[in-house]
């Protein structure tokens, strides 16, 4: 993988896809490191489990076939060990509802890498009026950091997705007893830390500054414009086109998502949901607006007939509407020129 194409979106997508503990996996070389690849212990934990029938490989211990969830691990197959049927040691396994050493979920998470029971206490409460304290010892990852003392920028890095809370059930890494290490959850924060640009691209290394600029989303560069639009929504009639459609949606509080292939070029069929008329349009975009994310504020007005994604929205109370395609395309098609008449009427009203 070319490190210059390792975007923060790909980082999260890869993290969400992984559901295995992969010991001693060669890490990708980060910018500024030497040509020697460090040895890493990478642990992916999915607290709610996985779909066993799609995860576990089939075959024998030395001759197995990767399952539906793990084909991307094929290049490392000779180094993989899938461990199944592991049980907690008696100190972690034993406990009872209403006790003070944690529920099975808390014990399983807190002891996953420490191999030790939770401290007895009332600091955290789980189901069945069961309580506990924090973990009672150092976790394996932190032990290895101290033992091996790797010569890397980040001897240890904890990342979480949808962590939700700061309780014992949300921590697996411990520097010591009562010393949980909170995971980083904000994608921008993780990206900033990994690429050494926590100040948002104001560092002194030109290479890192250029790397930061390459990885910034087009929406990062338009945050100020989105804030400006927020101040105008409802005060003036608005008509957004293409990126303007995205910015208006963001200003209204919508989510956006990346299309698998994007919509490029001429002859893109779009249906006007108000009239039922189909327009042939020109398009050039890679994202779409999740209009249901602003239900009650805006509604979808146009639909792409190839993939069913929204191609337009209207926020009547804000006197604003927008389309994802290009009705202004000089070379045509000109099926959507009526939108400009609609905008003129809204300004005259």
Question: What's the pLDDT tens digit per position in 26-37?
Answer: 334 444 445 567
Shared-domain flag, residues 226 and 181: no
Is residue 69 included in any domain, yes or no? Answer: yes
Q: What is the pLDDT of residue 16?
A: 36
Over residues 259-283, the mean pLDDT reads 92
Is residue 206 included in any domain, yes or no? Answer: no
Residue 342 has pLDDT above 80, yes or no: yes
Shared-domain flag, residues 27 and 175: yes
Shared-domain flag, residues 248 and 176: no
Determine phi and psi for 346, rounding to 5 degrees: -70, -30
Residues 45-103 have pLDDT tens digits of 776 667 888 999 999 888 899 999 899 999 989 888 888 776 666 655 556 666 888 88
Domain span at residue 138 reads 3-194
Q: What band does 280 get if pLDDT is binned at 50, 70 and 90? A: very high
Q: What is the pLDDT of residue 102?
A: 84
In terms of Cα–Cα distance, which of 198, 144, 136 is closest to 171? 136
Last residue of a domain, one of 175, 194, 213: 194
Shared-domain flag, residues 123 and 256: no
Residue 14 has pLDDT above 50, yes or no: no
Residue 304, H or E segment? strand 299-304
Residues 127-167 have pLDDT tens digits of 667 888 999 999 999 999 888 888 777 888 888 877 767 78
Shared-domain flag, residues 156 and 115: yes
Is residue 124 included in any domain, yes or no? Answer: yes
Mapping DSSP to helix (H, G, I), strand (E, B) and coil, where does residue 270 land? strand
Shared-domain flag, residues 87 and 235: no
Enter the pTM of the model.
0.48
Over residues 261-277, the mean pLDDT reads 92
Shared-domain flag, residues 49 and 123: yes
Is residue 202 included in any domain, yes or no? Answer: no
Q: What is the pLDDT of residue 168?
A: 85
- Rounded to whole angstroms, the Cα distance separating 123 from 103 reads 13
Last residue of a domain, one of 146, 177, 194: 194
Shared-domain flag, residues 185 and 52: yes
Shared-domain flag, residues 139 and 248: no
Query: What CATH number has the domain bearing residue 228?
Result: 3.40.50.880
Shared-domain flag, residues 157 and 16: yes
DSSP secondary structure letter of residue 111: T
Burial pattern 276-309, b for ≥16 Cβ within 10 A else e, equals eeebebbbebebbbebeebeebbbbbbbbeeeeb
- Rounded to whole angstroms, the Cα distance separating 237 from 314 reads 11
In terms of Cα–Cα distance, which of 31, 46, 269 is closest to 162? 46
Q: What's the number of domains the chain is made of?
A: 2
Strand partners, 42: 22
Is residue 259 included in any domain, yes or no? Answer: yes
Shared-domain flag, residues 144 and 250: no
Shared-domain flag, residues 100 and 154: yes
Mapping DSSP to helix (H, G, I), strand (E, B) and coil, where does residue 91 land? helix
Q: Measure the CA dihedral 310/316/319/324, to 10°.
A: 0
Last residue of a domain, one of 194, 213, 237: 194
Is residue 314 included in any domain, yes or no? Answer: yes
Is residue 327 included in any domain, yes or no? Answer: yes
Is residue 156 included in any domain, yes or no? Answer: yes
């Amino acid at each position: 993988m070319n490190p210059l194409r390792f975007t923060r979106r790909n980082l999260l997508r890869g993290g969400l896809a992984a559901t295995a503990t992969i010991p001693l996996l060669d890490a990708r070389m980060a910018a500024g490191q030497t040509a020697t690849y460090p040895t890493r212990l990478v642990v992916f934990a999915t607290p709610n489990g996985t779909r066993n029938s799609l995860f576990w490989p089939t075959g024998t211990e030395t001759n197995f076939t990767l399952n539906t969830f793990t084909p991307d691990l094929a290049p490392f197959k000779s180094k993989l060990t899938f461990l199944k049927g592991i049980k907690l040691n008696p100190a972690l396994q034993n406990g009872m509802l209403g006790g003070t050493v944690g529920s099975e979920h808390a014990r399983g998470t807190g002891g996953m890498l420490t191999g030790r029971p939770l401290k007895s206490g009332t600091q955290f409460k789980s189901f069945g009026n069961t309580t506990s304290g924090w973990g009672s010892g150092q976790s394996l990852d932190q032990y290895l950091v101290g033992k091996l003392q790797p010569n890397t920028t980040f001897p240890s890095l904890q990342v979480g997705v949808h962590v939700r809370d700061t309780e014992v059930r949300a921590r697996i890494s411990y520097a010591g007893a009562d010393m949980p290490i909170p995971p980083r959850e904000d994608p921008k924060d993780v990206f900033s830390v990994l690429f050494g640009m926590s100040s948002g691209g104001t560092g002194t290394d030109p290479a890192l500054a250029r790397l930061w600029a390459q990885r910034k989303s087009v929406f990062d560069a338009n945050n100020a414009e989105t804030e400006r639009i927020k101040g105008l929504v409802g005060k003036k009639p608005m008509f957004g086109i293409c990126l303007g459609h995205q910015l208006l949606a963001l200003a209204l509080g919508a989510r956006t998502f990346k299309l698998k292939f994007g919509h490029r070029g001429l002859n893109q069929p779009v249906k006007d949901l108000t009239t039922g008329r189909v327009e042939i349009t020109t398009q050039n975009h890679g994202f779409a607006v999740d209009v249901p994310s602003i239900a009650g504020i805006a509604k979808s007005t146009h639909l792409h007939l190839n993939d069913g994604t929204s191609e337009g929205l209207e926020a009547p109370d804000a006197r604003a509407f927008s389309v994802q395609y290009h009705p202004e395309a000089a070379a045509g098609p000109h099926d959507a020129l009526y939108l400009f008449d609609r905008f003129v009427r809204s300004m005259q009203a």
